[in-house]
Amino acid sequence: MEYLVLARKFRPQSFEDVAGQEHVVKTLRNAIAQGRVAHAFLFSGPRGVGKTSVARILAKSLNCEKGPTAIPCNVCSNCRGITDGSSLDVREIDGASNRGIDEIRELRENVKFAPAASRYKIYIIDEVHMLTREAFNALLKTLEEPPSHVIFIFATTESHKVPATILSRCQCYDFRRISLKEIIANLGKVAAAEGIQISLAALTWIAEAGDGSMRDAQSIFDQIISYAGTNIKDADVEENLGLTDRKYLFVLSESVLQHNAGACLNILEEAYLAGIDMKHFYQMLLKHFRNLLLVKIAATASSSFDIAPEEIEKLKKQTKDVSRETLQRLAEILIAEEESFRRSQESRMKLETVLVKMAYLEPIIPLGEIMATIEAIEQKLRQGLPAAAGNMGPQLATNKQVKEIPADYGAKINIADEKNNEDSLLSQNKPTDDLKTLSDSLKKFIKKENAILGAKIEFAEILSYENNCLTLGFPKGYIFLEDIQGKKQKDHLEQIAGKFFQANVAINIATTEAQKVNTNGNNGRDKTNSLNDMKREAINHPLLQKVMDEFAGAEVIEIKARTDKSR
């Protein structure tokens, strides 16, 4: 007996067997049940998604001896004739080889005759967009008012090439790409019916290679069975599909995220020596970073994307400590360099430069954190730098060695290391009679625990602390006051304060009048104090501390106050 390939052997024979086209199937079944079947249909969509199969099922439903019915019997002479292509009343025409006006004239003459043995005479024209303009024009009148016993079903992968005059005379159905999950399920049924032993991972790889086409996936599966037999190993699928380059993707992205440019170059060298095509590998790398970004953004709904289930957890693990902004920037680099990479004669060298650029990309700070910091500084400048800040003295606490600021840039600030005193106060975590000192220590502690929250409480003052009840005062009209009074931020603030005081602390929020800078006879001294306050704030700013921590041995050489008024 002649062998039937899987794509033909397991072709859908009823609407229930059609995968991934529920919107089309439901409409056609309802139309048959209600007796509202149109005289012309246009099925458009990618290759291998069921257009011709649905056209045949529709023909069987209309011509079945028990019909019209939404469930053809597939055993009567009409159904069997349509299935094996021998029916005289259902003609399948190839639009590419019957594209001229002469063939359409012949079709116009034949539609006048009644069906030989069926209820309807049905013409299925595949790749109808291949017809010439003259052929389309010759078909217009017949298509608009065909005999009552004639139904036209057109199928095309390029509906935009079909004239609007034809489209307006048809009911148009758009077929979609079949999802990865549905293709895997179908291949699993095929494997069970054929007695094939294969893992879920291997079926996933085959489904991915199908690229949304059920027919392509089944054809690839057929080829792999011929290669490996009925007991298919994962290595057989990898070798047959050329998937050995997949193993480099995760180790390469891990090296990029760890800013290890040397490891990236070594991995690419190994992949190049293994014979991997660099242009194809670039596309896989781009898709891999796209998957990383999708999982980071929509981790809970990542199963809805066409990503293999066993890869989702690996992707989540790799993106755990990476910001969304960083992943987005890495994907943008790959997209921006794609065109120049495709035109490059040295694809390996070009990919090396792209990977090095990605590896040396600094972590991107979220916009919300930057805006909170900027708004806090702007608020302080609008309030005129509270004079009370000058009582802190000329000594600044920092965990890095900072050189003395030259006299050329204003008053000298001799930086002393008060880290031991600060750590001593923080380690005791006890209230003190000096509320100003306590305020400074608490704010520094909060900045260490949460930099954004620390920036928002920059202007807070401890008004009182009694019986584990902490009252914080904020200037009237403070930009973050409403946010801090919200339950979420207040609960977080109480949690950090409890850690600081080593007790369950309740926080009350109060407003105070903003302090003003003294403009009397001490004007010159106050300006110096204000300058010192600004320099002190710059030294202790969380962003500066983060930069100092990133670069070992970094030192602050000088601090300059900006004098331009244009920005």
> What torsion do the CA atoms of 448, 451, 455, 461 make, to the nearest 10 degrees?
-30
- Residue at a domain's end among 216, 241, 266: 241
Beta carbons within 8 Å of 228's beta carbon, 6+ residues apart: 236, 237, 240
The answer to whether residues 266 and 222 belong to one domain is no
Beta carbons within 8 Å of 189's beta carbon, 6+ residues apart: 10
CA–CA distance, 52 with 411 (Å, rounded to integer)? 84
Nearest alpha carbon to residue 158 among 25, 42, 18 = 42
Q: Which residues of 165-194 are buried (b: 16+ CB within 10 A; e: fewer)?
A: ebeebbbebebebbbbbbbbebbeebbeee
The answer to whether residues 207 and 103 belong to one domain is no
Query: Which CATH number goes with the domain that contains 291?
Result: 1.20.272.10
The residue with tokens 């880290």 is 419
- pLDDT reported for residue 517: 39
- Residue at a domain's end among 139, 155, 174: 174
Domain assignment of residue 218, yes or no: yes
- pLDDT reported for residue 266: 92
H or E element, residue 525: helix 523-539
Beta bridge partners, 257, equal none
> Domain span at residue 451?
379-550
The answer to whether residues 390 and 509 belong to one domain is yes
Domain assignment of residue 521, yes or no: yes
- Alpha carbon distances (Å) from 482 to 20, 271, 380, 472: 50, 55, 17, 14
Domain assignment of residue 12, yes or no: yes
Beta carbons within 8 Å of 553's beta carbon, 6+ residues apart: none
- Alpha carbon distances (Å) from 38 to 18, 137, 349: 21, 20, 59
Residue 542, both tokens: 């969380």
Contact between 534 and 541 (Cβ < 8 Å): no
The answer to whether residues 407 and 452 belong to one domain is yes
What's the pLDDT tens digit per position in 143-168?
988 999 999 999 999 999 999 999 99
- pLDDT reported for residue 376: 76
Domain assignment of residue 473, yes or no: yes
SS3 string, 40-103, reads EEEEECCCCCCHHHHHHHHHHHHHCCCCCCCCCCCCCHHHHHHHHCCCCCEEEEECCCCCCHHH
- Backbone φ and ψ of 174, nearest 5°: -95, 120
The answer to whether residues 250 and 230 belong to one domain is no
Beta carbons within 8 Å of 257's beta carbon, 6+ residues apart: 318, 322, 326
Residue 409, both tokens: 């840039």
- pLDDT reported for residue 533: 60
- pLDDT reported for residue 55: 94
The answer to whether residues 167 and 192 belong to one domain is no
Residue 240, both tokens: 């047959």
Backbone conformation region of residue 74, classed left if phi is above 0, alpha if psi is from -120 to 50, else beta: left
Report, in angstroms and rounded to the nearest whole number, the Rg of the chain calculated over CA atoms. 36
The residue with tokens 């509270």 is 386
CA–CA distance, 531 with 413 (Å, rounded to integer)? 10
Domain assignment of residue 483, yes or no: yes
If one counts the domains in the chain, the total is 4
The answer to whether residues 266 and 187 belong to one domain is no
Domain assignment of residue 523, yes or no: yes
- Residue at a domain's end among 202, 219, 241: 241
Domain assignment of residue 464, yes or no: yes
The residue with tokens 């680099």 is 333
Query: Which CATH number goes with the domain that contains 60?
Result: 3.40.50.300
Q: Do you know the residue count of the chain?
A: 567
The residue with tokens 């977080």 is 492
Domain assignment of residue 170, yes or no: yes
The answer to whether residues 68 and 190 belong to one domain is no
Query: Which CATH number goes with the domain that contains 202?
Result: 1.10.8
The answer to whether residues 451 and 476 belong to one domain is yes
- pLDDT reported for residue 441: 85
SS3 string, 543-567, reads HHHHHHHHCCCCCECCCCCCCCCCC
- pLDDT reported for residue 382: 67
The residue with tokens 């639009």 is 95
The answer to whether residues 228 and 256 belong to one domain is no
Please report the sign of the dihedral spanned by the C-alpha atoms of residue 280, residue 282, residue 285, residue 290.
negative
- pLDDT reported for residue 536: 59
The answer to whether residues 185 and 146 belong to one domain is no
The answer to whether residues 196 and 164 belong to one domain is no
Q: What is the DSSP letter of 521?
A: T
Calculate ∠ Cα 245-247-250, nearest 5°: 115
Task: Report the half-sphere exposure of 558 (CA within 13 A, side-chain side).
Answer: 9
Q: Which residues of the chain have pLDDT under 50?
A: 385-433, 514-525, 527-528, 564-567
